[in-house]
Amino acid sequence: MKVTIYHNPRCSKSRAAIKLLEDRGIEPEVIEYLKTPPDRKTLERLLKRLGIGPRDLMRKTEPVYAEAGLADPNVGREALLDALIAHPILIERPIVVADDKAVIGRPPERVLEVLGIL
């Protein structure tokens, strides 16, 4: 099983998720999404696997969320995707993908769900 984690090394939850995986002998492919942001196609694939919309993937406490007016319910899907691409800091983390499943690792133990451990 290939496991990928969209990771921010400054995030304690993200670091904890990697440790949980490694403690189980899983060496995930690590994508530091702030250095290598996902493109639109990748974001769409992640959202589909997560079963959520773009607003649900956003970190609403980030200053850019308010500054860009993203809390406005009239902001459409395409504009939200554009914002996630332009400002990857908005992407909730960590995201762990295993095969066709994905989960946001908050709390970090949720990453075990995609492995069939929980």
List, by residue number, the catalytic residues: 11
- Joined together, the tokens standing for residue 86 give 């332009």
Burial code of 29-57, b = ≥16 C-beta within 10 A, e = fewer? ebbebbeebbeeeebeebbebbeeebbeb
CB atoms within 10 A of CB 81: 17
